[in-house]
Amino acid sequence: MDKYRLLAIVEYDGTDFAGFQSQGNKRTVQGELERALHQITSEKMRVVGAGRTDTGVHAIGQGAHFDTAWNKSPEILQRALNAVLPTDISIRSLIEVPKNFSARHSAKSRTYRYTILNQSIRSPLTSRYALLVQEPLNVQAMNVAAHCLIGEKDFGAFGTPPRGDNTVRQVYRAQVERAGERVLIEIEANAFLYRMVRRIVGTLLLVGKGWLSIDEFRQVIVKERRAGESVPPQGLCLIKVKYELAANVADCTRSEG
């Protein structure tokens, strides 16, 4: 039987993974997906992800494609995968896509969310998924500063390219809002540099604490001032990868959180 291509939307708790991409003997999301697929289909296949989330980074909307000759429906395969995958990974949706589709190269944008728990007392139940910041934060100033990121810019002040030397990226949306004791920072872009979001968040925190003005934040973007330190990974989550698919293909972002 000829092979066809499937797109999975994957959710995972990244705490115990060395990132998405396979890395030798380290435990990775890609490795667990390929192992589960082999267990079910007896095929050895390569899973290609939309993004290489780092060690400790989570996802609720990671895109990943693979080719298979599986002769049953994607719905049956989805149930089978969720039955054998470890409890820190699940397949939220699984659909057939054209053979020339790429989870990585066909992505129109990626959206990351960083969660800060802004309260004086630590919370053991959220420590795996949020960064505790005990000082009061000026969220309005952080939001104004975040808007300075929007547009096509050189973001070399905040990260390094995964390959090559191009540090120009297009940011479509950047916002900071408070939800109770949580401060949520969301950034949507066509692509990201290595550790770009985490260093942006570290710099926005300087604004929120009153240590950096909005004008000084603009100076960081144009490399006239040094960016803040990269924040820890546990607060970061890939929440959505946006694709444009033909009308007769199911909406692959329907499971977005």
Q: How far apart are CA 109 and CA 112, in angstroms?
A: 10
Q: Is residue 67 among the annotated active site residues?
A: no
Helix and strand totals (H; E) in the chain? 5, 10
In terms of Cα–Cα distance, which of 3, 11, 41 is closest to 29? 11
CA angle (178, 228, 122) in 5-degree steps = 45
Strand partners, 182: 117, 179
Checking 83-90 for CB contacts under 8 A at 24+ apart, the result is: 84/36, 84/39, 84/40, 85/32, 85/33, 85/36, 86/32, 88/12, 88/13, 88/15, 88/16, 88/17, 89/10, 89/11, 89/12, 89/13, 89/29, 89/32, 89/33, 90/10, 90/11, 90/12
- Spot the catalytic one: 54, 67, 154, 215: 54
- The residues assigned a catalytic role are 54
